[in-house]
Chains A and B, each alone.
Chain A
Amino acid sequence: MKNQSLPIIIIGAAVISLIAVSQIFFTVPETSQALVLRFGEVRRVHQEAGLKWKYPLIESYIYIDKRNLELDQDQQEVVAADQERLIVDAFARFRITEPVLFYQSVNNEVVGRQRLSTLMDQSLRSVLGTVNTEDIISGQRAELMGRIQSSLEGGARRLGMEVLDVKIRRADLPPENSQAVYGRMQSERQQEARQIRAEGQEESLRITSSADADVIEIKAKAEEEAQKLRGQADATRNAVFADAYGANPEFFSFYRSLLAYEQALASGDSTIVLSPDSEFFRYLGDINGRPGR
C-alpha cells in the first residue's frame, strides 16, 4: 500500500505547492509596475520588474503601465490672441510615476487618460490664447509646446503622472481661412507672373527699339558718307571740266554747242524749217560753188 500511494502523495503535494506558489508569487514585467492590495488598501509598491510575493488570499495585485505612453488629443479649434482661429492637433507623452497616487486619484488608465486629456485641453487653450497665430505656426512653436507642458505638469503630478513632452502635431487654419490663404497665394503668384511677363515685354521692347535705332543710325551714317563721296566726286568733275575747258573758252562754247545740237536733234522726229540763206546752204544756190552774197 505504501508503495502504491507514494506517487499519489507526490503528485498531490506538487499540485498543492504549485497552487500555493501561484498564489504567493507573481512577476512584474519591465513594461509595468504593480501595487499589492490588501482588501483594496495599497500595501506595497513594486516599480522594479521581477519576481514578487504577496500573502495568499488576503492580498491581490494590479499592474499599472510604466511605459512612455501617448495621449492623443482630438483636433480642436483654438482662438489665438489675434482672434484668428486655428485647428490644433496636439499630443502628449506621459508616464505614470506615482502609481499609488495614480491608483487613488483615478484608479485606472482609462480614467487617467480622460483626466489628463481634459487638463491638456485647458493648457492648450490658455497658452495658445495668449499668442498670435504666426507664433503658433512658426516662430515660437517649440517654446509654446514647452509652456503647454509646464502648465500641464502640476495637474498631471497631482494625478501621479509625469508629462514628458507635449507636441503640436498640426496647427492649421480652418477650411474657410485656408481658402483665403489660397486666394492670397494665387493673387501673389498672378502678380508675380504678370510682372515677369511685363519684364519680358520691357526687355523685348528695349532690344527691338535699340535695334531699330541702330538700324537708322547705321543707315544715316552710311548716307552721310555716301553724300560726302558724291559731293567730292561732283567737285572733282567740276574741277576737271573747268581745268580742261578753261584752256580755250571760245572753242569750248563752239564745241559744246555742236555736241548739244547733235544730242538735242538726234532723235529724228524733229522738223527743221530752214532758210536757204542760212550759213549751211551757202553753196546751195550757186552753180559756181561760190558762196552767195
Chain B
Amino acid sequence: MPWNDNSGNRGPWGQAPRPPGGGNNGAGGQPPDLEEILRQGQQRIKRAFPGGGGRLGGGAFGFIGLVVLGLWLFTGVYQVEQDELGVVTRFGQFVAITQPGLKYHMPYPIESVQTPKVTTINEVQVGITTSRRGGVQDMPGESLMLTGDENIVDIDFEVFWQIDPRQPAADGDLPGAAKFLFLIDNPEGTVKAVAEASMREVIGRNDLEPIITRNRGPIQDETRTLMQEALDEYDSGIFITEVNIQKADPPDAVIEAFRDVVNAAQDKNTAINTATAYSNEVVPRARGDAQRILEEARAYSAQVTAEARGQADRFTSIRQEYEKAPDVTRQRMYLETMERVLNGSNKIILDDDAGSGVVPYLPLPEVQRRRQGQ
C-alpha cells in the first residue's frame, strides 16, 4: 500500500514535505496544497464527466465527495519531532515505531499515532519538593530512613529517567516507547514509588556511618540497579539514567550531636597541637639552658685553673727571687707590706709601760668620731 511507504518525506499525492498545521487532524492550514489537490480533482471530474457543467448537480456532488475523501485521507499526515518517536496503532493495536520527520499513517480511525518524547530526561525528587516558583520544601516523611544499624538518616535524592532507548531484548518484545505507553499505569508515580522502596532497601542494608561519610557512590549505583530491575520486571519501558543523592545527613534532631563529634575531633587536634607547641618550645629552651650551665662550668673551670696557674706562677717567681737573697727579700717584703697595711689604717701606738694604766680609758668612741669627721 502506498500509504505505508514512510521511507521518503512525501505525502500520498507526492506533494513537497511541509509540516501540517496541527498534529493529525490534517485539515487546517494548508491552502496551497489543498488548492492544488482540488484543481487536480476538478480536472479529473471534468474528464470523468465529459458533459462539462451540463450535469451540474451530479458534478457538484461528486466534487464534494472527493473533497471529503481528500480531507479524510489527509488525517493520516503527522510529524514526529526530533526528540520524539511515533508509535502507530491500527485499530488500537501497535504496528510500528516511526522516526522523526513528516510521516503518514492510514487515516483515522484506522490508524492513529502517539508521539512520546523519548530523549527528554525526567526528574523525580524524593525527600524534597521543588515548587514551580523554585521554593524547596522538605518532606521528612519521605526522607527519613532507617539504616541497618537502626539509626535514622535524612536522605534527599533525585532520580533521572527517560523512556527506554535500549533495543528490546527479545524479538517479540515491544520497544521501550510502546511499553511506556501501553504496559504501565502512572509512570511518574511508579518511578517515585520504586525509587523510595529501592533507596530504603539499600539504606537498610548499610550502617549510618558510611552512608553519611563516604559511601554515596555505591548506594546510588545499587539503588539504580534495584530500580532498573524492578522497572524492567514491570515492562515499564522506563530507563533510569541516574540516581543522585543530594543530601545524606543525620536528622535535624540529632545533627548537633554529630557536629559535636566533628568539633571534638578538632578539639583533640587542637589539644595535641597545643601540647606539641609547648613541647617544641620548652625542650629546645631546656637544651639552651643546659648549654648555658655547661658553658658556665667551662668558664668557671677555665677561670679557676687560669687563676691558680697565675697565682702559682707569681709565687714561683717571687720564691725564686727570694731564694737568691732570702734575708733581704724577706725583710723588704715584710716592710713593704706593713707599709701598705698601716698606711691606710688608724694607728694607735701604746707604750707597754705607759699604756698599762691608760688602755682601759682609751676613748674609743672619740677615735671613731674623729674618723667620721674626716
Contacts and interface: CB of A to CB of B under 8 A. Distances in A.
B330 interface: yes
A173 B309 CA distance: 95
A55 interface: no
A132 B183 CA distance: 37
Contacts of A208: 275, 278-279
Interface of B is mostly: helix
A212 B318 contact: no
Contact of A169 (B151, B183, B200): B200
Interface in B279-299: 279, 282-283, 285-287, 289-291, 293-294, 296-298
B344 A173 contact: no
B298 A229 contact: yes
Contacts of A44: none
Contacts of A27: 91-92, 109
A186 B141 CA distance: 21
B269 interface: yes
B152 A6 contact: no
B287 A218 contact: yes
B233 A165 contact: yes
B91 to A, nearest CB: 4
A244 B320 CA distance: 11
B150 A211 contact: no
Interface stretch (B15-23, B128-136, B161-169, B246-254): B246-254
Nearest to B265: A196
Nearest to B348: A273
Nearest to A4: B57
A7 interface: yes
B37 interface: no
Nearest to A226: B297
A219 B236 contact: no
Residue of B197, B234, B351 contacting most chain A CB atoms (<10 Å): B197
Contact of A225 (B236, B253, B297): B297
B116 interface: no
Interface stretch (A65-73, A100-108, A119-127, A150-158): A65-73
A221 B304 CA distance: 22
B190 A169 contact: no
A142 interface: yes
Contacts of B313: 244
Contacts of A67: 182-185
B324 to A, nearest CB: 12
Contact of A203 (B272, B298, B371): B272
Contacts of A193: 257, 260-261, 263-264
A262 B340 contact: yes
B123 interface: no
B218 to A, nearest CB: 16
Contacts of B275: 203-208, 211
A258 B182 contact: no
Interface stretch (B3-11, B71-79, B331-339): B331-339
Interface in A166-184: 167-173, 178-179, 181-182
A211 B347 CA distance: 65
The 10 tightest CB contacts between A and B, nearest first, are A200-B268, A222-B290, A226-B297, A244-B312, A233-B301, A211-B279, A51-B91, A207-B275, A189-B257, A237-B308
Given A70-B189, A196-B268, A200-B270, 10 more contacts: A49-B89, A65-B185, A72-B189, A72-B193, A189-B254, A252-B319, A254-B330, A265-B341, A265-B344, A266-B341
